[in-house]
Amino acid sequence: MPPGISAFAISLNVPDPEASASFLMDNFGYGVEMQDEGYVSLKHPDGGSNIIFLRTGLPTFKPASIAGSAGEGLLLVLVVGDLDERHEQLSARGVDVVTAPETEPWGERFSQYRDPNGLIVQLVQWM
């Protein structure tokens, strides 16, 4: 990272932050780093960036002109080592499968799942 930037996080507005946080904790091993009313910040024990869920409509969100829900055109992409094994586990748990595993011509193998707020979580394995 360039000097002066020590970390990266993504913040997503959703109707129910706890539901999206639980989805990532239960299915992908994330843990709560910080939490308050309408706010959950998650971190994975293996590292990487924080994923933050904010309740849509919080008055503290700025700028208010872009305070709508995340989702349309957004993929939350997680890189994994064994996509097919993860897919089998998630399918067995009843997770909403959007796209079963497939491989792109350039070597990206991926699958997609819908969280309780409609966000798409995409798993990727580089072949």
Rounded CA-CA distance 99/103 in Å is 11
Q: Write the DSSP symbol of residue 3.
A: T
Cα gap 88→77, rounded to integer Å: 18
pLDDT tens track for 30-84: 999 999 999 999 999 998 899 999 999 998 888 988 888 888 889 999 999 999 9
* Sequence-ordered list of residues with C-beta below 8 angstroms from that of 100, at least 6 positions apart, any chain: 87, 111
What letter does residue 64 receive in the DSSP assignment? G
When pLDDT is cut at 50, 70 and 90, the band that residue 2 belongs to is low
Q: What tokens appear for 117 in the block?
A: 């707020």
